[in-house]
Amino acid sequence: MHPPKAVERFLLGSVRSAQPFADRGNINPECWLVESDQGKFLVQRINTSVFRDPARVMTGASAWLGAQERLMHQGGLPPGWRGFSFATTVEGSNLVEDETGFWRAMSLIEGVRSYKRLSDVGDRARQLAIARQVGRGLAAAAAIGSRVRLDRGSLPGFHDTEGYYRQLEAVLRGCTQASQCADLLPGDPQLLQATQHLYLVRHGSLFAERLADIKPMVEALLRAKPEAMALREMGWEATAVHGDTKLENFLFNPEDRVVALVDLDTVMPGPWELDWADAVRSLVNPAGEIVGELDTVRYDGEVEQAMREGFLGARSHLAGPDTSARMCRAALAVTLEQALRFATDYLRGDVYYHVPAETPDLNKNRAEVQMRLADQMRDAYAASLSSSGP
């Protein structure tokens, strides 16, 4: 297997070796580890089926890296915090287009490790220590994001809860053509192009069967709309967020101190609470997104408390009952939003989250897990959710 010609277009120095990079992630289809006399680089092809505007992806990522670099020089990030940089071509571009697509090259952060699941970490004390470090990483992300201004993100419609509810409404109508749900479609041309297919049912007969199967869940999601919409009240235009704060995107040094947050494809306008909420959703359910038995879904309050200690320890000016209430509302909102997305996709015929033929009910299971987690969060957050403030 030969490395892509794009490697030669980037200013990487004298290349010594190039080999496929095993840990390439789930989205971008091809990644190469390139070693040169200037160091190690990852040369990656951007998945244009997901990211239809690679230049916008790079604009958001570069804005984040620029703000991060300035904060690092000012001492505004945790000790030992590390960043990467994009290589450029002789023309000064950080993107290369060839017959296979769009490529980018970035410096490799070495001497670090990551974890896919908190259960992979080890004993309980170490798990809580990692959760605390994730909180510190989220505080760093909030500091960086407060210095980034973007007019839109790289994924049109991402975290647009109102849009997700309109998609559900169109699917519940059984729409198979755009003309049947014209009143629900977005007016923005770019958003329409990116999301129109998500308003349509793929198989009418399958839809009726699946709706009967999960009707109580759909009714619960419709009742929960005010809770799911809570994030829209939290100042979206003022700051930016990372947009994908799952555990594996945090990098840790050998002593398990957080030193980086990577995968900047989803940088977008939004409040820091969005990054907080997405991380909480992904860490506090030890069972994960897919379970054999729903009874194994469990909200782990100790993990969230450790995350709060790390976050508020680094951003103590935010501490207080109003912030606590916002953090709870945000976590519940993002969890309900994810349940909504899984359930809607199950009804429309698994258009967005493709599932293996042998597990046709996978999106149903995913939605049930998120709903079960949301119910447990609601109980755990009862006191904070009754507090005043947006």
145 or 291, greater pLDDT:
145
Residues 176 and 109: their CA atoms lie apart, in Å, by 47
User: Is 112-381 a domain of CATH 3.10.180.10?
Assistant: no
- Structure confidence at residue 154 (pLDDT): 94
Residue 260 CB neighbours (<10 A): 22
CB 283 within 8 A of CB 128: no
pLDDT at 297: 93
Is 60 exceeded by the pLDDT of residue 388? no
Residue 331, C-beta contacts closer than 8 angstroms, at least 6 positions apart: 276, 277, 280, 281, 284, 304, 377, 381
Helix/strand/coil (H/E/C) assignment for every residue in 157-196:
CCCCHHHHHHHHHHHHCCCCCHHHHCCCCCCCHHHHHHHH
**What number of other Cβ atoms are within 10 A of residue 216's Cβ?**
9
Structural tokens at position 59: 């604009």
Q: What is the pLDDT of residue 158?
A: 95
Per-residue pLDDT averaged across 74-86, rounded? 95
d(CA 299, CA 293) in angstroms, rounded, equals: 15
Six-digit token pair at 142? 């909030």
- Architecture (CATH level 2) of domain 1-54+82-110: 2-Layer Sandwich (3.30)
What share of the chain has pLDDT > 90, as a percent? 82
Range with the poorest average pLDDT among 101-110, 206-215, 320-329, 366-375? 320-329
Where residue 24 falls among pLDDT bands split at 50, 70, 90?
A: low
Domain ranges of the chain: 1-54+82-110, 112-381
CA-only gyration radius of the chain, Å: 21
Q: Quick one: pLDDT band at residue 389, thresholds 50, 70, 90?
A: low
pLDDT band at 49 (very low <50, low <70, confident <90, very high): confident
Strands (E) located in the chain: 15-20, 30-36, 39-45, 96-98, 101-107, 240-241, 250-252, 258-261, 268-269
Q: Which of 74, 53, 188, 76 is nearest to 136 (CA)?
A: 76
Model pLDDT for residues 270-312, shown as the tens digit of each residue:
999 999 999 999 999 988 888 888 899 999 999 999 999 999 9
- Please report the DSSP string for 58-94 in residue order: HHHHHHHHHHHHHHHHHT-S-TT-----B--BTTS-S
- Is residue 244 within 8 A of residue 278, CB to CB? The reply is yes
pLDDT tens string 350-383: 999 888 899 999 999 999 999 999 999 999 999 8
Q: Do 40 and 34 contact (CB within 8 A), yes or no?
A: yes
Could you tell me the pLDDT band of residue 256, with boundaries at 50, 70 and 90? very high
When pLDDT is averaged across residues 91-111 and rounded to a whole number, the result is 96
Residue 134: φ, ψ to 5° = -60, -40
Region of poorest pLDDT, from 18-32, 310-324, 362-376: 18-32
Position with higher pLDDT, 291 vs 348: 348
| Mean predicted confidence (pLDDT) in 192-201 | 96
pLDDT of residue 236: 65
- What's residue 208's pLDDT? 93
The whole-angstrom separation of Cα 261 and Cα 256 is 14
Q: Which residues pair with 20 in a beta bridge?
A: 32
Q: Which residues pair with 43 in a beta bridge?
A: 32, 105
Q: Which residue has the higher pLDDT, 91 or 27?
A: 91
Q: Can you tell me the mean pLDDT for 187-199?
A: 95
Based on the number of CB atoms within 10 Å of its own CB, is 125 exposed (0-12), middle (13-18) or buried (19 or more)? exposed
Three-class SS state of 40: strand
Question: What's the mean pLDDT in 328-338?
Answer: 97
71-85, 233-247, 272-286, range with the lowest pLDDT: 233-247
3-class secondary structure, 204: helix
Torsion-angle region of residue 80: left (phi > 0), alpha (psi -120 to 50) or beta? left
pLDDT of residue 216: 98
Q: What is the mean pLDDT of residues 218-222?
A: 99
pLDDT given for residue 1 in this prediction: 64
